[in-house]
Structure 1
Amino acid sequence: MKPIESIMRTAPVIPVLVVEDVDHALPIARALVKGGLRVLEVTLRTPAALDVIHAMKGVEGAIVGAGTVTNPDELKAAIDAGAEFIVSPGLTDNLGKAAVASGIPFLPGIASAGDIMRGLDLGLTHFKFFPASTSGGLPALKALAAPFHTCKFCPTGGITAATAPEWLGFDPVLCVGGSWVVGKGTPDEAAIEAAAREASALGK
């Protein structure tokens, strides 16, 4: 199992995926990996999500994780489905302790100094800054990162292909989360691969 930092450094963008239909899982994962985005965050926002995680694991090179994990029960279900890392929108002691105990790479959401301190108490140093664009944007993250200089971040929420380079130019940011790479509806593999190729070049 990869530590969370190496997962975050795999590609500059982690596509945040809301997949309604398990039949879409393989074409989406294939196109993203082909385009250079190997780390896939499948959000637990649809009834199909756990089956989608399981299906995407069949694509060679894909590193498949679960997002929108909010409690220990969802954590367990995601791990049972084969998730290789866990992303949460926020951080509670309950979820944090369960995730740390499980040993799975964990990227909890933070939006304040108190959130980061709670994470540090649990031995965590890598965080998702969420929702990035409405929590003060890059100036807010820069202000938070100053006192917590050992921490690394993945801003997510409201980030676009146009704004991603600015975030990625800030040293403590290892990657960004983005929902712009994959559109809704039936997947167009060629379009997804092209968007993934553009996204994977952003960090260069």
Structure 2
Amino acid sequence: MAARPGALEVMQDAAVIPVIVLQDTAHAVPLARALLAGGIRMLEVTLRTPVALACIEAIAKEVPEAVIGAGTVRSAADAQAAAMAGARFAVSPGYTPAVGKACHDLGIALLPGVATGSEIMMAQEDGYTALKFFPAMQAGGVAMLKAWHGPFNDVRFCPTGGVTLANAPELLALPNVACVGGSWLTPADAMERQDWPRITRMAAEAVALKRRA
């Protein structure tokens, strides 16, 4: 069985974690290979479609060099299903102790979603200090992350939600940002057309983004 990474390892692997919504299982493996070819191996497949778990399973089996994770994990049952499909990490839009405990018990890394100071404190109480800031741009963006750096200077964030190639550099320049999450790497039209070279080019552009040392 492939090793399961820690949350900070997931966040530090590349400047961007792609947020992937798959509508067709046939697209899962070629998409994963296209992202890998561009230098991105941490892949978050969101549990927003009926085929999401099948896509996670296909990538886990056929593209072992990718590190497949499940996004939109909202319950312990979601975490269990994702782990059984082969997910090696989980990403949640918010945080509850039940989701945190489930991921801990399953031995999979969790990037819990937070949007307020109280949510950060709740996640920290359960041992989580590598967090997803969601929805980042709608909830304050760069200004909020700067404000959080004082009281929460031991927390690293992955801002997700409204992040683009254009605004990612400003976020990545912040000392408390380890990476960003973005859906722009896997546009629906490119997947519908199976334009995998385009996705590889976009992944390479994302990998080239500079993060604060």
Question: Which residue of structure 1 lines up, in the alignment, with residue 202 of structure 2?
Answer: 195
Distance, in Å, in 2 between the alignment partners of 1:147 and 1:30 is: 40
Letter of the aligned partner of 1:171 in structure 2? Answer: P
1:101 to partner: Cα distance: 2.4
Does structure 1 residue 87 correspond to structure 2 residue 91?
Answer: yes
How is 1:106-121 mapped onto 2 (pairs within 5 angstroms)? 106-121=110-125
Is 1:178 aligned with 2:185? no
User: What CA distance in whole angstroms lies between the structure 1 residues aligned with 2:71 and 2:152?
Assistant: 24
Identity level (%): 49
Structure 2 match to 1:19: 22
CA RMSD, 1 decimal: 1.0
Counterpart-to-counterpart distance in 1, 2:18 and 2:99? 23
Residue aligned with 1:199, SS: helix
Query: 2 CA distance for matches of 1:129 and 1:66?
Result: 16
Aligned equivalents of 1:120, 1:83: Cα separation in 2:
23
CA contact (8 A) 1:38 1:62 kept: yes
Question: Where has structure 1 moved over 6 Å in runs of 4 or more?
Answer: none
Residue in 2 that maps onto 1:10: 13
More displaced 10-residue stretch of structure 1: 1-10 or 173-182: 1-10
C-alpha separation between the residues in 1 aligned to 2:106 and 2:63? 25
d(CA) in 1 for partners of 2:144, 2:152:
13
Partner of 2:69: 65
Query: Which structure 2 residue ranges, 5 or more long, are not aligned?
Result: none
The equivalent of 1:31 in structure 2 is 34
Which amino acid is 2:204 matched to? R
Q: Which residue of 2 aligns with 1:142?
A: 146
Specify which of 49, 52, 55 is matched with residue 55 of structure 2. Answer: 52
Secondary structure at the aligned position of 2:93 is classed as coil
Unpaired runs of 5+ residues, structure 1, are none
In 2, Cα distance between equivalents of 1:72 and 1:180: 28
Amino acid of the residue matched to residue 158 of structure 1? G
Aligned-partner residue type, residue 52 of structure 1: C
What is the TM-score of this pair, normalised by structure 2?
0.93
Cα offset for 1:175?
A: 0.5
CA distance in 2, matches of 1:195, 1:180: 8
CA shift, 1:60, in A, is 4.2
Q: For 2:210 and 2:12, how far apart are their aligned partners in 1?
A: 10
1:38-87 CA distance string (max 9 Å, x none):
11000000000001011112214211000000000111000000000000
Q: Does 1:98 align with 2:102?
A: yes
Superposed CA deviations along residues 153-182 of structure 1, whole A, max 9, x for unmatched, are 100000000000110000111110000011
Q: Does the Cα contact within 8 Å between 1:119 and 1:125 map onto a contact in 2?
A: yes
Read off the aligned partner of 1:123 and give its amino acid letter. Answer: G
